[in-house]
Structure 1
Amino acid sequence: MHGQRAHPSRAHAPARARVTPGGLLTGLLRTTRPKQWVKNTLVVAAPAAAGRLFSVPALGRLALTFALFTACAAAVYLINDARDAEADRAHPVKCRRPVAAGQVPVPVAYAAGGLLAVLAPLLAARLTPPLVPVLLTAYLGMQLAYCVALKHVLVVDLVVVTTGFLMRAMIGGVALGIPLSRWFLITTGFGALFMVAAKRYSEAVQMAGKAGATRALLTEYTTGYLRFVWQLAAGVAVLAYCLWALEGHAGPATGLLPWRQLSMVAFILAILRYAVFADRGTAGEPEDVVLRDRALALIGLAWLAMYGLAVAHW
């Protein structure tokens, strides 16, 4: 007798899940990547820098902005997973995503994503300043273009992901009518590019010599180029932050200690500590890197404390 052999293309494919109302809702929630929502807390960055964070009206508007941005990001994830369902089913890890596994039908994912993509900017147009829905619409357009084509274009893919982080940091200031300084934008933009390039570099290092990179574009980047990008971005971010910290302080200090200048030490230490993981090729999702390394988390808390004291003029 001859033994039966599994079809190679189905080696990693999970059994199709039976769709139930409860399973569908759970699958839709999982597809929106709740773990990634922590990135959207960047909406408080500009208000915190301006000392406008601790008032009830500001917190209410920021909570609304956070929810609207999260809805837009969720829309992108839903549409992306619906579009990539067939390709994901052939991937050893992505095949477990709810849409690829059949827990969420493709038409339902498209419908839910489209609904969120329409409702979020409309609600923003009614409840927030005019520039907020403009930014949300621009974010949606850019991210959907990334899903369709831009993620296959060298360098542009890095720029699009970095700009997504920058938009998160900008939209909180826009929602509260806070002018955004050039140093804030440069530091945030290049800090985001540092983390994005470090993640790509880590993926490239881990996939070196293996077939089937998790991102097709990784085969077109060299690890040397990606290392250059994250090192350049780290240098520009540090320089911009230091220029901000030292700017306009010729007069007497207004606080107990020069917290603004002292925060440079913590900021540089945080960059150097993060670079350790980038250099090792283990810098994955930024939130995972920070939360899994106690030293980096403590440095981050120290920076937040000094930054807060500087803003409060203590």
Structure 2
Amino acid sequence: MAEPTALLEPRPTAAPATPSRSLRNLALGLLRTARPRQWIKNVLVVAAPASAGELFTARALTQLPLVFALFTACAAAVYLVNDARDAEADRAHPVKRHRPVAAGQVPVPVAYAVGGALAVLAPTAAVWLCSPYTSALLSAYLGLQLAYCVSLKHVLVVDLVVVATGFLMRAVIGGLALGIPLSRWFLITTGFGALFMVAAKRYSEAVQMAGREGATRVLLTEYTAGYLRFVWQLAAGVAVLGYCLWALEEGGAPSTGVLPWRQLSVVAFVLAVLRYAVFAERGTAGEPEDVVLRDRPLALIGVVWLAMYGLAVAHW
């Protein structure tokens, strides 16, 4: 027979959360809210220096990592403020309710505070580490994206333009930091290429959410699938035209390379657009980086295009 005292022994209880564990959970929540998967978009800061053949200069190798980090900080600030602002609505969403702010892992005041701190520190640091022009562009990006979070995302067409402009700013800031003149064809191709991908993503959302308006953003229900298809097709056409004009104009001079790589790169560029359009038409074009990384033929075409483009810039 068991001893009477054995029956009175208290059951073990879970150890209370320690301050260090709570801080670690908070830090992980802030990191998740900053969307690390989205940071790959900021690689676009190398676009202008690469197109000018100055990617591997000493100044580029020191400045571009700083620009990448500062732009990432600004993007993280926008994500934090956006999630804090939309916390209540996200809690009612089947997927977004798992976001750290909506789930309560990151308190709303903390998200606002960290986002605000990053929004102030990144442009300020850019003045000292890069240039006043870089700081000005980062400030413009923050202002535009925060305005998008507050109101512009509810305005037809403007929401597409704002998101596409964010991509364009990423591509422009690298050249701005290094003082590289930006070609009009570079701006046209990059801007409309971004609009192509943004409209393709919206079209895919519209196709997937057809008949389920309550499960997606309200503005998306005001677009028609036919209109969004028109936008991404138009943007793709303008991007291809801009790239072709760049290749023909800049390649008009006698080439010192073995082959006319600049003109030949048009083939790879057009193939990449056509391959991406397959996913857009199917309604499966989600985040651009996911589309590129999950489709091997598209990734291979991209590598071939980069090789041709690099050879053209290097005049090989």
TM-score by length of 2: 0.93
Distance 1:257 1:150 in 2: 47
Name the CA distance, whole Å, in 2 between partners of 1:241 and 1:225: 24
The answer to whether the 8 Å contact 1:27/1:103 transfers is yes
Shift of 1:167: 0.3
Superposed counterparts of 1:177-256, under 5 Å? 177-256=179-258
Give the conservation status (yes or no) of the 8 Å contact 2:93–2:215: no
Equivalent in 152, 155, 163 of residue 154 of structure 2: 152
Q: Displacement of 1:211 after TM fit?
A: 3.8
The residue number in structure 2 matching 1:112 is 114
- What's the CA shift for 1:216? 1.4
The Cα shift of 1:59 comes to 1.3
Match of 1:212, SS state, is helix
Alignment of 1:1-314 (within 5 A): 20-314=22-316
- AA paired with 1:85? A
Give the Cα–Cα distance (whole angstroms) in 2 for the partners of residues 280 and 92 of structure 1.
24
Q: Matched residues in 2 for 1:294 and 1:41: separation? A: 20
1:248–1:117 distance in 2 versus 1, CA, 3 Å:
closer
**Matched residue type, 2:270:** I
Structure 1 residues 251 and 89, CA gap change in structure 2 (3 angstroms)? closer
User: Could you tell me how far apart the structure 2 residues matched to 1:139 and 1:251 are?
Assistant: 37
1:76-104 Cα distance to aligned partner (Å, 9 max, x none): 00000001001100110000000000000
Write the deviation string for residues 11-60 of structure 1: whole angstroms up to 9, x where unpaired: xxxxxx99811100000000000000000000000000000001232111
TM-score of the two chains, using structure 1 as the length reference: 0.93
Distance 1:87 1:252 in 2: 59
Q: Which runs of 5+ in 1 are unaligned?
A: 1-16
In the alignment, the residues of structure 2 paired with residue 130 and residue 151 of structure 1 have an alpha-carbon distance, to the nearest angstrom, of 29
**Matched residue type, 1:284:** G
Q: For residues 168-197 of structure 1, what are the alpha-carbon distances to aligned partners after superposition, in whole Å with 9 as ceiling and x for unaligned?
A: 000000000000000000000000000000
Q: Which amino acid aligns with 2:27?
A: L
Question: 1:209, CA displacement in angstroms?
Answer: 1.1
Corresponding residue for residue 9 of structure 2: none
Paired-residue identity, %: 80
Q: Within 2, Cα distance between the matches of 1:249 and 1:25?
A: 51
Deviation at 1:248, TM superposition (A): 3.9
Give the Cα separation in 1 of the matches to 2:312 and 2:30.
42
Letter in 2 for 1:84: D
Deviation by residue 1:226-270 (Cα, 9 ceiling, x = unmatched): 000000000000000000001143442210110000000000000
Relative to 1, partners in 2 of residues 1:146 and 1:250: Cα closer, same or farther, differing over 3 Å? Answer: closer
Contact (CA 8 Å) 2:137, 2:169: kept in 1 or not? yes
Q: CA deviation at 1:208?
A: 0.4
Contact residue 213 and residue 219 of structure 1 kept, 8 A? no
Aligned to 1:13: none
Q: How many residues align?
A: 298
In 1: Cα distance, 2:124 partner to 2:265 partner: 40
Structure of larger gyration radius: 2
C-alpha separation in 2, matches of 1:207 and 1:248: 44
Over 3 Å counting, the alpha-carbon distance change for 1:267 and 1:107 in structure 2 is same
Large movers: runs of 4+ above 4 Å: none
d(CA) in 2 for partners of 1:211, 1:77: 24
Q: Is contact 1:27-1:98 (8 Å) kept?
A: yes
- Further displaced range: 133-142 or 122-131: 122-131
Q: Could you tell me how far apart the structure 1 residues matched to 2:39 and 2:253 are?
A: 41
* Whole-angstrom distance in 2 between the partners of 1:121 and 1:35: 23
Instruction: Specify the code of the residue in structure 2 equivalent to 1:178.
Output: I
Q: Distance in 2 between matches of 1:122 and 1:252?
A: 45
1-side partners of 2:299 and 2:216: how far apart? Answer: 28
CA RMSD of aligned residues (A): 1.2
